[in-house]
Amino acid sequence: MAQFTLRVRRYDPNSPTGPYWQEQTVELEEHRSVLEGLLQIKALYDGSLAVRCSCRSAICGSCGVRINGEPGLACKTHLNEARAFSEAIGKGGVIEVEPLGNMPVIKDLVVDMDAVHWKKINRVTPWLIGRQPVPQREYIVPREAMLDVTQTMACIQCGACVSDCLAMEADPEFIGPAALAKAYRFVGDPRDDRREERVRELAEDPHGIFECTHCFKCVQACPKEVNPMGQIIRLRRIASADLGIVDQNNGVRHEQAFATLVKEHGLLHEAELLPRSYGGDSWFGKFHPAAGRELLSSLRVIVKAILRGKVNPLRAIIPHRLATADRKAVQRIFDHVDGKKSPHREQRYELNLFVVGEDEPQESQEQTEVTR
Amino acid sequence: MKVAYWPGCVSRGFTPELHGAMEKVAPLLGIELVELDRANCCGAGVLSEHNMELADTLNARTFALAQQVEGAELMMNICSTCQGAQSECQERLDANREYREHVNSTLAEEGLRYEKGIVNKNFLWVLVEEIGLDRLRSLVKRPLSNLRVGPFYGCYIVRPRPRLGIDAEHPRDRYLEQVIEALGGTVIDYAGARKCCGFPIVTMNKEVSLRQAGSHVGEALDLEADCLVTPCPLCHLNLDLQQPLAETVVGRELGLPVLHLPQLVGLALGLSPKELGLGRHVVRPQAVIDWSTAVVAGAPA
């Protein structure tokens, strides 16, 4: 048995005191979970503590909380690990437990999942819309085609990713990681009949796939390795490469201009990327009214940057670029991997470590020996 | 120590003061920079969105070029985004031999080959893990006394923890605080330190992007920070270059200087603000410049 101190954020809507911290030491074996710590507080010291839980084995997704500032499942976090993490971040080994973020708190550690999480999930039509005509018997789908969506199917709707989404923190209307991962689950399903409509809607929505900032919060938060940000990126890739959508948020234009400019120069040419993201992916992009409007709205900072010698106007015309031989090498890679004419490019090669796993280190050693 | 040095694109484009400062600071720390002038853009997460294999192949090319630098102990970058984007590609390349061979077959046309397991470290990691905080402390000529510094990491260098090698032994998401303290400064502990600056969506949703930048800067100001320091030039663009526009979005005056990591280190090692390109920022780091001259004037001869 060992002792652990839990510092729990309490809140009772019927009390005038507002939120407060409560510390309690519990006695449990090292490998027990934070949830078991909370339940011991509830059972032995303070029955008024509200915490939601059910399966206690990381399947039901009920006990999402923030532990030492990081979202996760209370039942999947060991007490000794939580204490070590608390020590590492300078909190002296005291395990801090708070309700999930980005959602209203109902009481103590229980948040209103309906108000945020489920509302957003419902926004993406979270069910299969079968391809017509419906087959006489079952839909026949190759196994490989379904592998692609197994990662998102691992989601247990715990809300850990929603809790810490930084885009949602800045804009509560952002559809968010859990719902967008759910959307990919159907976009990637070969039986679904509304692939294009689904993607188009999420691309054109100002709070859709192009509002994700790549902050990796959801990747780290997810207790089931769903990698919501990775699914958002796949939705963007489908919008751009497969469906040729040019959205009103500049998302696809930005990505295509980025690729074009790196192919051309080997390095990124920022001064050209900005106008093209607004005006279109060509040299003429900067003369598009949308690029002009953007230039005008940023004129203040652009002038300042030029006056300070931060941005060299000459560089905007003659960019920093690689030497000819290296530019050619980069262009060859683009043509080989990304070229439309490339014969072996019918399918994109997307290595998903969730699906294939890592090589066994022993296996690769054996293989090397065999080759020798 | 000799390193294969990858400056990235932005440090030679819109934040030239970063690359300049790094070149000034390196010899003082005993780092010999061999610039990877043939290497290409890391893709900043956007190229891998366009085509994952393309981003992996382009970064494998950079790694292969770094592995050719004779006597280099490791590859060093000065951009959080390069660190994150390259680590993501490296994770896939190192995990699967078949995939690595596939990517190498594309590189073979140029006579290049990536061997599993390159060590690629941001300058921040090199400072703490290779040079060491004790040695850094001993090199300080102008301790950052009374300078209140808010760390700003950038997402790509702190998440996800396993990919970036962050654990109890390597608390890389605490290194900025350690470096600020080793240089004699005071750390501002504010919630924005590991949040997103908003830069990746500045062309998609400018208001939300600048609201992120503006609220972090505002929060640090409320805690009386003199400046922020960041290892990411993209964060610097949103926090410094765009700060006057972020003021409009968050509806308050800001004016907080943002320093690149090599600039902060350079100041402590005795370089002048001018040598470090501090005059090139959009938000003039007047408080920091005044502080540096005051310290020099007050220092015993």
51-90 in chain A: CB under 8 A from chain B = 84, 88-90
Query: Least CB-CB distance to A216: which of B13, B155, B168?
Result: B155
Residue of B nearest to A256 (CA): B50
Q: What is the spatial distance between Cα B291 and Cα A7, in angstroms, rounded to a whole number? A: 40
B151 touches chain A (CB under 8 A): no
Interface predicted TM-score of the whole assembly (ipTM), two decimals: 0.95
Quick one: average pLDDT of B204-226?
Answer: 97
According to the model, what pLDDT value does residue A313 have?
Answer: 82
Stretch A247-274: mean pLDDT, rounded? Answer: 95
- Residues A278-318: tens digit of each pLDDT: 999 998 998 999 999 999 899 999 999 999 988 888 877 78
Which class is domain A2-111?
Answer: alpha beta
Whether B16 contacts chain A with CB within 8 A: yes
Domain extents in chain A: 2-111, 114-242, 267-338
Q: Does A329 touch chain B (CB under 8 A)?
A: yes
By the CB < 8 Å criterion, does A240 face chain B?
yes
Give CA separation, B75 vs A10, A166, A286, B166, B174, in Å: 48, 31, 37, 18, 21
Q: Count Cβ–Cβ pairs < 8 Å, chain A vs chain B.
A: 217
* B213: Cβ contacts below 8 Å, ≥ 6 apart: B197, B198, B199, B238, B239, B242, B243, B246
User: Tens digit of pLDDT for each residue in A313-365?
Assistant: 887 778 889 999 999 999 999 999 987 755 545 567 888 888 888 886 654 44
Mutation target to probe the B interface, by most B beta carbons within 10 A, among A242, A245, A246, A267 is A267
In angstroms, the separation between the Cα of residue A249 and the nearest Cα of chain B is 5
Is the pLDDT assigned to residue A367 strictly greater than 70? no
CB contact under 8 A, A258 and B50: yes
* Residue B86 CA to its chain's centroid (Å): 14
Q: Report d(CA B62, CA B170) in Å as an integer.
A: 25
A114-242 CATH, one of 1.10.1060.10, 3.30.70.20, 1.10.3110.10, 3.40.50.720: 1.10.1060.10
* Model pLDDT, residue B124: 98
Check pLDDT > 50 for residue B142.
Answer: yes
In single-letter form, the type of residue at position A120 comes to K
* pTM to 2 decimal places: 0.94
